[in-house]
Chains A and B, each alone.
Chain A
Amino acid sequence: MKDAAPQPHAFKQLNVALAGNPNAGKTTLFNALTGLNQKVANYPGVTVERKHGVWSVGEKEIKLIDLPGLYSLEATSLDEQIASDVLLGKIDGTPKPDAVIAVVDATNLERNLYLVTQLFEYGIPVVVALTMIDVFERQKHEIDIASLSRLLKVPVVAVNAADGRGAEELESRVEEVIGQVQTTPLEIDADAGENAKIFARYSFISDAVQRSVKHNDKSAHDMSEKIDKLLTHRFFGLAILVGVLLLVFQSIFSWAEVPMHLLEQVFGAIGDGLRSAMPEGILADLLVDGIIAGVGGVLVFLPQILLLFLFVSLLEDSGYMARAAFLMDKLMSRVGLHGKAFLPLMSSFACAIPGIMATRTIENQRDRFATILIAPFMSCSARLPVYTLMIGAFFAGQTVFGFISLGALLMLAMYSIGIAAAIIVAFILKHTILKSPPPPFVMELPPYRVPNLRTVVQNMITRAWLFVKRAGTVILAISIILWALAYFPRTGSSPSASEPTAAEAVQMQNSYAGQLGHLIEPVIQPLGFDWKIGVALIASFAAREVLVSTLSIIYNVGKDENEESTTLIAAIRDAKDSAGKPVWTPLTALTLMVFFVLAMQCMSTLAVVRRETNSWRWPLFMLGYMTCLAYLGAFLTYQGGKLVGLQ
Chain B
Amino acid sequence: MLDIQTLIAGLIVLGALAYAVTLIRKKVRAFSPKKSCGDDCGCGSNSKKAVQ
Q: How far is the CA of A43 from the CA of B37 in the complex (A)?
A: 29
Do A365 and B51 contact each other (CB < 8 Å), given the known contacts A78-B46, A477-B16, A481-B13?
yes
The answer to whether the Cβ of A533 comes within 8 Å of any Cβ in the partner chain is: no
Identify the interface centre among B20, B36, B48: most chain A CB within 10 Å of its CB.
B20
With contacts A82-B39, A281-B5 taken as known, whether A611 is within 8 angstroms of B32 at the C-beta atoms is yes
Say which residue of B33, B36, B40, B47 sits within 8 Å of A368 (CB atoms). Answer: B47
A283-B8, A478-B20 known; A81 vs B43 contact (CB < 8 Å): no
Q: Does A229 contact B (CB under 8 A)?
A: no
The reply to whether B23 and A612 contact each other, CB–CB distance below 8 Å, is no
| Complex CA distance for A50 and B20, rounded to whole angstroms | 30
Q: Is the C-beta of A335 less than 8 angstroms from some C-beta in chain B?
A: no
Cβ–Cβ contact B50 & A357, under 8 A: no
Report B47 CB to chain A, min CB distance, Å: 5
Cα A368 to Cα B5 with chains together (Å): 53
Tell me which of A82, A281, A363, A365 contacts B40 (CB under 8 A).
A82
The residue from B17, B30, B36, B47 contacting A363, defined by CB atoms under 8 A apart: B47
Contact of B43 among A282, A480, A612 (CB under 8 A): A612
Q: Which of A197-245 contact B (CB under 8 A)?
A: none
Q: B44 to nearest A CB, angstroms?
A: 6
Q: Which of A317-325, A444-452, A601-609 contacts B (4 or more CB under 8 A)?
A: A601-609
Per-residue CB contact flags for chain A residues 587-624 toward chain B (1 = under 8 Å, else 0) read: 00000000000000001100110111110000000000
A481–B17 touching, CB < 8 Å: yes
* Interface size, chain A (Cβ < 8 Å): 43
Structural contact, B41 and A50, CB atoms closer than 8 A: no
Inter-chain contact B42/A611, CB cutoff 8 Å: yes
Kindly state the separation between the CA atoms of A363 and B44 in the bound complex, as whole angstroms.
Answer: 11
Q: Is residue A420 contacting chain B, with contact meaning CB distance below 8 A?
A: no
Interface residues of A in 451-509 (CB under 8 A from B): 473-474, 476-478, 480-481, 483-484
With beta carbons under 8 angstroms apart, the residue of B28, B44, B50 that contacts A364 is B50
Q: Indicate the member of A50, A357, A480 with the most B CB atoms within 10 Å.
A: A480
Of the candidates B3, B44, B48, the one having the most CB atoms from chain A within 10 angstroms of its own CB is: B44
Given known pairs A474-B23, A477-B19, the reply for A608 and B13 (CB within 8 Å) is no
**Nearest CB of A to B7, in Å:** 9
A366 at the interface (CB under 8 A from B): yes
A614 and B33 contact, CB distance less than 8 A: yes
A81 to B15, CA, bound (A): 43
Interface size class on chain B is: 20 to 34
Q: How far is the CA of A364 from the CA of B3 in the complex (A)?
A: 63
**B1 is an interface residue with CB less than 8 A from chain A:** no
A180 CB → nearest B CB, Å:
28
Tell yes or no: A563 within 8 A of B by CB. no
Once the chains bind, are B42 and A612 in contact (CB under 8 Å)?
Answer: yes
| With A92-B36, A603-B27 as contacts: A611 and B43 at CB distance below 8 Å | yes
Tell me which residues across on chain A come within 8 A of B48, comparing CB atoms: 365
Residue among B19, B42, B43 with max Cβ neighbours from chain A (10 Å) = B42
Chain A nearest CB, measured from B50 CB (Å)? 5
Is A49 in the interface zone, CB < 8 Å from B?
A: yes
Cα separation A603 to B23 with both chains bound (whole Å) = 11
| Of A81, A282, A474, the contact of B5 (CB 8 Å cutoff) | A282
Which chain B residues lie closer than 8 Å to A279 at the CB level? 5
A contact residues around B20 at 8 Å (CB): 477-478, 481
Query: How far is B6's CA from A282's CA once the two chains are assembled, in angstroms?
Result: 6
Q: What separation, in Å, do the CA atoms of A53 and B10 have in the docked complex? A: 42
A481: chain B residues at CB < 8 Å are: 13, 16-17, 20
Cβ < 8 Å to B, chain A residues 64-105: 75, 77-78, 81-82, 85, 91-92, 94
- B9→A357 contact, CB < 8 A: no
A474 to B28, CA, bound (A): 15
B51 to chain A, nearest CB (A): 4
Q: Which residues of A in the span 258-287 have a Cβ within 8 Å of any Cβ on B?
A: 279, 281-286
The reply to whether A611 and B5 form a contact with Cβ atoms under 8 Å apart is no
Bound CA–CA A78/B16 (angstroms): 39
Contact B16 A480 (CB under 8 A): yes
A439 to B24, CA, bound (A): 39
Q: Are A611 and B51 in contact (CB under 8 A)?
A: no
Option from A364, A473, A608 in Cβ contact (under 8 Å) with B31: A608
- Chain B residues positioned under 8 Å from A286 (CB to CB): 9, 12-13
Q: Which residue of chain B lies nearest to A609 when distances are taken between CB atoms in the complex?
A: B31
Give per-residue flags for A627-645: 1 if the beta carbon is below 8 A from chain B beta carbons, else 0: 0000000000000000000
CB-contact partner of A484 in B13, B30, B37, under 8 A: B13
Q: Across the interface, which residues of A come within 8 angstroms of B44, CB to CB?
A: 78, 81
Interface string of A38-57 (1 = CB under 8 A from B): 00000000000110000000
Q: Is A559 an interface residue (CB 8 A)?
A: no
* Smallest CB gap from A612: residue in B: B42
Taking Cβ atoms with an 8 Å cutoff, the residues of B that contact A are 3, 5-6, 8-9, 12-13, 15-17, 19-20, 23-24, 27-28, 30-33, 36-37, 39-44, 46-48, 50-51
Given A50-B40, A478-B20, A481-B20, 18 other A-B residues pairs in contact with their CB atoms under 8 A? A78-B44, A81-B44, A281-B3, A282-B5, A283-B9, A286-B12, A364-B51, A366-B51, A477-B17, A478-B16, A480-B13, A484-B16, A603-B27, A607-B27, A611-B31, A612-B43, A613-B42, A614-B37
5 A/B residue pairs, CB under 8 Å, sorted by A: A82-B39, A284-B5, A366-B51, A610-B32, A611-B42
